[in-house]
Amino acid sequence: MEKNMVSEKSFTSKALVIKALFAAVLCVSAYISIPLPTGAHITFLNFIVLLIALVFPWQDSLVITLLWLVLGAIGIPVFIGGNAGIGYLLSGWGGYSFSFIIVAVLLPLLRGKKYNRLFYTILSLAGAVVIDIIGAAWLIAITHISIKQAFMMGFLPFIPLDALKAIVVAQIVPQFQKLITFSSES
């Protein structure tokens, strides 16, 4: 019975608006971008994906990130640098987009119900590493570059800022959980 209550709560008007707002924030975060000489971009996308994954249940987290992915796939410019379409997803950098879906499901399943700052920080850092590893592996598979090149282009440049973003996300989760809980109760 409790499971039905959770799924019913997920589809109230307020809950849908909150999910849509987070999907919109995810779309906008792709435009907060620092281009690197390698063609990669450091963005705010993974910050928002990690936040969504640590705040929402896995089903909601999945819906939010899938909505973003589908919007981009059908041609709305919500990917890094205003890119869109299946072509972008199938490019060397598309793996990062798919990794967001994995992290959006995995982190909520691992995090538990009660906030623990240290555990959430470790989980958030692990999520950031998963994103970067999947992205780099995709880069190898699509572009046929060496592991060393993928490490230098698609992993190493991201680690310092991704670690910082992951740590910050883990610290602000309680405030967002309160906001989401308050919004769904009122």
pTM equals: 0.89
Domain 2-185 has CATH 1.10.1760.20: yes
Residue-level pLDDT at 1: 41
pLDDT, tens digit, for every residue of 11-59? 688 888 999 999 999 999 999 988 888 778 889 999 999 999 999 999 9
Residue-level pLDDT at 8: 53
The CA-based diameter of the chain, rounded to the nearest angstrom, is: 54
Instruction: Check pLDDT > 70 for residue 103.
Output: yes
33 forms beta bridges with: 43
More reliable by pLDDT, 47 or 153: 47
Instruction: Check pLDDT > 70 for residue 133.
Output: yes
Domain assignments of the chain as residue spans, ordered by start: 2-185
Report the candidate in 29, 35, 74, 70 with the shortest Cα–Cα distance to residue 49. 29
| Spatial separation of the C-alpha atoms in residues 134 and 96, rounded to whole Å | 7
